[in-house]
Amino acid sequence: MSVEATLEQFGVAEVIVSLQAVPPGGMEGLAAATEVKQRNLAQYFTTSDRATRSLLAASSNKPAPGPYRVYEHLGLVLGTVNKSGWSGLKADPQVADVEEAPQFSLIHPIRPLAAGAVSPTPGPTWGLSKLRVAELWSRGFRGQGVRIGHIDTGVDGKHPAFRQKAIGGFAEFDMIGNEVAKPKVTDSGDHGTHTAATIVGRPVNGFEFGVAPAATLYSAKVIEGGNVVARVLGGLNWCLGQQVKIISISLGLRGYTPSFLNLIQALRARGVLPVVAVGNEGVDTSRSPGNYDNVLSVGASDRQNKVATYSSSQSIQRPQDPLVPDLVGPGSDVISAQPGKGYQLLSGTSMATPHIAGLAALLWQAAPTATHADVERAILQSCKRPPSMPQGRANRGFPDALEALKILNPSAAAKPKPSASGKKPAAAAKKKAAQPGPAKKGTGKKAAGKPKAAAKKTTKGAKKG
């Protein structure tokens, strides 16, 4: 529904406002640059008992929120407007863009018919083996020093997969979108624990399931329920404040909507690589923002080198890079952590996405001065598409960790020399880490700047088919 239609039907609408010339950085930089803008923009927003945030506050016996909220690291404002406020924002030269704020939803995993806990055996999961991440581990690249953002249902911080300071920070946003003080590191379901462990899970009793087992996770508990857009914006804003380099996003809105283009571009303008699931609704479907040309869009494959039947794929009407997803990753029958110290098997593009986010972390450790476009380009150009994967479903195909490293940093990809004992240099560290602990080809994607509409030409370059 358009803003105009929403206003006609309900009298008020919630909108996302992008400000002109907002510099990257924190609250101080934004406030210094936009103090007058914020004060002037306040006149356009209104408090209404019919607004989503007001209704949620009333139902939970909390004070009604103000008419707007500033996300300082994103350079965005979320607020409630009536017809006159909407007209004023559109005409104000301080405003770069205004879009309605539709609600995200979790991309739910596909669960096996006989759902339940599984008992993993020592060794890597099939996904880690297919990606060839051990080739990077053996060269000393396990994600050390790389911060990864995680927008999901939270994470069970007591699971042994997250020992050794795997979780660097945790934030929770309530149903209205307010950050919760001193939150417990918990999962409102099981989705977040599973995806988080695929990214940074430390080996347990020889079982290897985390792609980047030395990286650090910054997890925001933002879904599901309540004013999800306010919660997600709060989580993304918080992640940027933690100086993450990558954000793993397994949520979206069914179909194509440009409402979040400015949000994603704000992430890229601040040097962050957004890795986003394309959706689980099958052929000729996709979700936003997973279908944008300024994200690294991820579909799902199985261990037989086939695209999963549930994995979304679609051609978007735009001159450049029309096909989504960009690539596929290990998504079917993925074993990872389950709240309560166990493990479970789930399938979905939500399971494939954290594999690619973890791969990006390994590459960033190997090339610390690389840009998000450099890392993205290396991943895309490493992909190979076997005959079993139609281009319309898999696009570039499946990435190869070692090939990506060769593209990004050839010297770091040189085969490690054995030590005097005959073991590879990283072997001892890997063995120690495995001990159980306590109970788009070419020049990359679209450059930073104001995003284009879906049908307009982008600048991320031609991509390999």
User: DSSP letters of 108-129?
Assistant: PPBPPTT-SB----SEE-HHHH
| DSSP-derived secondary structure for 153-197 | SB--TTSGGGTTTTEEEEEEB-TTSPBPSS----BSSSHHHHHHH
Residue 242 and residue 169: Cα distance in Å, rounded?
A: 8
Examine the domain organization and report whether 212 and 268 are in the same domain.
Answer: yes
In a domain, 427, yes or no: no
pLDDT of residue 21: 62
Q: 401-408 and 349-366 helices cross at what angle (nearest 10)?
A: 40
Are residues 93 and 157 located together in one domain of the fold?
A: no
Q: Is the four-CA dihedral 21, 27, 32, 34 of positive or negative sign?
A: positive
Give the span between the Cα atoms of 313 and 307, in whole angstroms. Answer: 10
Residues 92 and 139 in one domain: no
Boundary-marking domain end, from 101, 136, 159: 101
Residue 94 maps to a domain: yes
232 and 319 part of one domain:
yes
Q: For residue 128, how far is the Cα from the chain centroid?
A: 19
Beta strands 105-106 and 207-208 are unpaired
My answer on whether 244 and 188 are in the same domain is yes
Whether 432 is covered by a domain: the verdict is: no
DSSP H helices in 323-371? 349-366
Q: What is the DSSP string of 284-336?
A: TB-EETTT-TTSEEEEEE-TTS-B-TT--BEE-SSSSS-EE-SEEEE-SSEEE
Q: How many domains does the chain have?
A: 2
Tell me, yes or no, whether 132 lies in a domain.
yes
366, 395, 413 - which closes a domain: 413
Say yes or no: 159 and 279 in one domain.
yes
Rounded to whole angstroms, the Cα distance separating 382 from 359 reads 12
Give the pLDDT score at 19.
82
Instruction: Report the chain's terminal Cα–Cα distance, integer Å.
Output: 34
Residue 128 falls within a domain, yes or no?
A: yes
The answer to whether residues 284 and 393 belong to one domain is yes
Same domain, 207 and 338: yes
- Of the candidates 140, 133, 67, the residue with the CA atom closest to the CA atom of residue 403: 133
The secondary structure of the chain in percent helix, strand, coil, rounded to multiples of 5, reads: 30, 20, 50
Q: Counting Cβ atoms within 10 Å, is residue 21 exposed (0-12), middle (13-18) or buried (19+)?
A: exposed
In the prediction, which pLDDT does 416 show? 72
Residues forming beta bridges with residue 150, ordered by sequence position: 219, 248
Query: What pLDDT does 61 receive?
Result: 59
DSSP letters, 242-254, are TT-SEEEE-EEEE
State whether 272 and 389 are in the same domain: yes
Residue 186 lies in a domain: yes
Which phi-psi region, left, alpha or beta, contains residue 204 (left: φ > 0; alpha: ψ -120 to 50)? Answer: beta
Among candidate residues 47, 75, 101, the one where a domain is terminated: 101
Nearest to 297 by CA among 321, 317, 277, 268: 277
Do the domain assignments include residue 220? yes
Residues 332 and 361 in one domain: yes
- Tell me how far CA of residue 374 lies from CA of 67, 132, 214, 263, in angstroms: 40, 20, 21, 21
126 in the same domain as 59 = no
- 7 and 144 in a single domain? The answer is no
Secondary structure (DSSP) of 4-39: HHHHHHHS-EEEEEEETTPPSS-HHHHHHHHHHHHH
Note whether 298 and 352 are within 8 A (CB). yes
Supply φ then ψ for residue 215, to 5 degrees: -80, 170
CATH code of the domain in which 242 resides: 3.40.50.200
pLDDT of residue 113: 63
- Residue-level pLDDT at 66: 79
Per-residue pLDDT of the chain (465 residues), as tens digits, is 688 988 998 899 999 998 876 554 444 445 555 454 556 788 999 987 655 554 555 455 566 667 888 898 888 899 999 999 999 999 998 888 999 888 777 788 888 765 567 889 999 999 999 999 999 999 999 999 999 999 999 999 999 999 999 999 999 999 889 999 999 999 999 999 999 999 999 999 999 999 999 999 999 999 888 888 999 999 999 999 999 999 999 999 999 998 899 899 999 999 999 999 999 999 999 999 999 999 999 999 999 999 999 999 999 999 888 999 999 999 999 999 999 999 999 999 999 999 999 999 999 999 999 999 999 999 999 999 999 999 999 999 999 999 999 999 999 999 776 654 444 444 444 444 444 433 344 444 543 443 444 433 333 433 433
CATH number, position 89: 3.30.70
Q: Which two tokens stand for residue 349?
A: 């593009």
Domain contains 425: no
CA dist 188 and 321 (Å) reads: 36
Which structural domain, as residue segments, surrounds residue 398?
A: 106-413
